[in-house]
Amino acid sequence: MPYARRRRASSRPEPNGSGYNGLSSPGGHSTSLNAARRTRELAEVAETTVDVLVVGLGATGAGAALDAAARGLSVAAIDANDLAFGTSRWSSKMIHGGLRYLARGQVGVAAESAAERGVLLARTAPHLVRAQPYLLPLTPRVSRRTAAAMMAGYRMGDAMRAAARTPRRLLPGPSRLDAAHALRLVPGLAPDDLRGALLSWDGRVVDDARLVVAIARTAAGYGARVLTRCRAIELRGDGAVARDELSGRLLTIRARAVINATGVWAATLDPSISLRPSRGTHLVLGPGTLPHSRIGMHVPIPGERGRFALVLPQPDGRVHVGLTDEPVEGPVPDVPEAPESDVTFLLDVLNSVLAEPIGRSQVAGTYAGLRPLLAGDGRTADLSRRHAVLTSPEGIVTVIGGKLTTYRRMAEDAVDRAVALRSLQAGPSPTARLSLVGAASGAVRGPWRLVERYGAEAQAVQALAEADPALAEPVGPGVIAAEFAWGARHEGALDAADLLDRRTRVGLVPSDREAALPAALAAMS
């Protein structure tokens, strides 16, 4: 059933008999998150013992909250900041089939990635995840041997797609293009000495933060209490001491099982965890900086075998260019910064294939994220991206590592462990079959720009703009004020930063953020 239908008369009771004035879900609860619901549910969790407490609401924690709630367990899920505040919003947005892991012989990791990509594309989030074409330009730097090896790799990736039963209509196979065709697809390429290009396809999510919001709201639709601005100060096997970051009040949350899904911050709550984070930086180029193209690019990194920079056009017209992989030491910052050396490196790699080089002044924004990698030997670029589920002597279940693509599987494994550890009454995970909020069972109406980001809810967002002309006004590239209103009413945004930096991504370019701030503040008032 599509989620977009407005709740007029609910066929199933609201939790605790309260009316949310929100959107319905197959889970029987409203999927709307907002300040009023947070206040009410924060008070409720202080008075009850939940089956599962999930700490951290990135993709992994939101996934665990959904997994547990959909199995019928009572759930409280808390985040110190906001949905998708951590690494989950700093990804490259690839929902990938694990080609890179295949190249390293990590067949199991690649197969898991390919399977989860298929789940997202075909079943759970077809509105947010779709096929993205990438072009690998065959410049003199790419030897014929390397090109042949890359094509063989893409074909293996296609075989993994077939093994995962993802239909080819959702993810076409690779092909080789001549130079003229490559230049038509990516007009900014340097034409000199271009032998042609390899075209391959992989999955991509329209916006990683929106994926997290959709997972968290789906969890709320199954009755999970999703509480942002609620920081775990101390974790135990039977709950946590937490602080409401808005009031400063401390509360005790009692739980039968506890899942620590705090990613790169996991060791702050369970010191037995040892992480070796690595920083990945992206550049953000404003609309028009590169000649328009919807095609992404794999740009070979000079001197590195099998490593590529990624050029990823965004729906808002911006283009993201990533990404670095640098080990980092010391305390984990709330928001990592991209050092100038990363910016120079990425520009050099990009310019190696462009006809007109991009200068530093044309970089509109940058962002960096920290990969929550488990400590191991070797370079961080070589550490396995497989996830781990660890249980502390006290009984805290930590789920760590992995990637955005495999969030669902990570969540399932963590909840399986928690269920077994505490002998909770719950069946197997149903999440591979559960559509996320916004997934539609049929054709979706509404402006394409909204459909791309809101799926079946696009019409409801558009209706806000039609009812109030002020909400039809643009507030950033490709974003209208109605999206801010929607974020505050239904997507759990509690302040202007939530709207600018996570419900929309206007904030990725500082000047756009500044210009949109008054509209975001108005939406929150």
Ligand X SMILES: Cc1cc2nc3c(=O)[nH]c(=O)nc-3n(C[C@H](O)[C@H](O)[C@H](O)COP(=O)(O)OP(=O)(O)OC[C@H]3O[C@@H](n4cnc5c(N)ncnc54)[C@H](O)[C@@H]3O)c2cc1C
Q: Would you count residue 454 as binding ligand X (CB under 6 A)?
A: no
Which DSSP string corresponds to 20-86? --SB--TTSS---B-HHHHHHHHHHHTTSEEEEEEE--SHHHHHHHHHHHHTT--EEEE-SS-TT-S
Q: Would you count residue 88 as binding ligand X (CB under 6 A)?
A: yes
Which DSSP string corresponds to 252-279? EEEEEEEEE--GGGHHHH-TT--B--EE
Q: Specify whether the CB–CB gap between 414 and 73 falls below 8 A.
A: no
Q: Which helix (H) or strand (E) holds 216?
A: helix 208-221
Of the candidate spans 73-81, 192-200, 469-477, 503-511, the one that interacts with ligand X by CB under 6 A turns out to be 73-81
Taking the alpha carbons at both ends of the chain, their separation in whole angstroms is: 33
Least distance CB 117 / ligand X (angstroms): 9
Q: Cis (ω within 30 of 0) for the bond into 323?
A: yes
Q: How many residues bind ligand X (CB under 6 A)?
A: 39
**Residue closer to ligand X (CB basis): 283 or 358:** 283
Residues 50-69 contacting ligand X, CB under 6 A: 55-61
Among 23, 75, 227, 264, binds ligand X (CB under 6 A): 264
Contact string (CB under 6 A) for ligand X, positions 337-376, x = contact: --------------------------------xxxx----
Q: Would you count residue 32 as binding ligand X (CB under 6 A)?
A: no
**Residue closer to ligand X (CB basis): 267 or 471:** 267
Q: Would you count residue 265 as binding ligand X (CB under 6 A)?
A: yes
Among 66, 69, 261, 311, binds ligand X (CB under 6 A): 261
* The residue to which tokens 């990635």 are assigned: 113
Least distance CB 70 / ligand X (angstroms): 18
Residues 239-258 contacting ligand X, CB under 6 A: none
**Residue closer to ligand X (CB basis): 109 or 404:** 404
* The residue to which tokens 């590529």 are assigned: 308
**Residue closer to ligand X (CB basis): 208 or 457:** 208
Least distance CB 454 / ligand X (angstroms): 21
Tell me the three state secondary structure of residue 201: strand
Q: Which residues, in sequence order, are bridge partners of residue 131? A: 203
Residues 383-442 contacting ligand X, CB under 6 A: 402-405
Q: Which residues contact 69 (CB under 8 A, 6 or more apart)?
A: 27, 75, 219, 222, 223, 224
Among 91, 289, 293, 392, binds ligand X (CB under 6 A): 91
Among 22, 133, 188, 263, binds ligand X (CB under 6 A): 263
Tokens at 135, concatenated: 């072009």
Q: What is the rounded CA–CA span in Å between residue 78 and residue 89?
A: 17
**Residue closer to ligand X (CB basis): 88 or 429:** 88
Least distance CB 524 / ligand X (angstroms): 20
The CA distances from residue 502 to 83, 96, 199, 506, 524, in Å, are: 8, 22, 31, 9, 14
Strands, E, within 413-525: which ranges? 474-476, 479-480
The residues that touch ligand X, with contacts defined as CB under 6 A, are: 55-61, 78-81, 85-88, 90-94, 96, 231-232, 261-265, 269, 280, 323, 369-372, 402-405
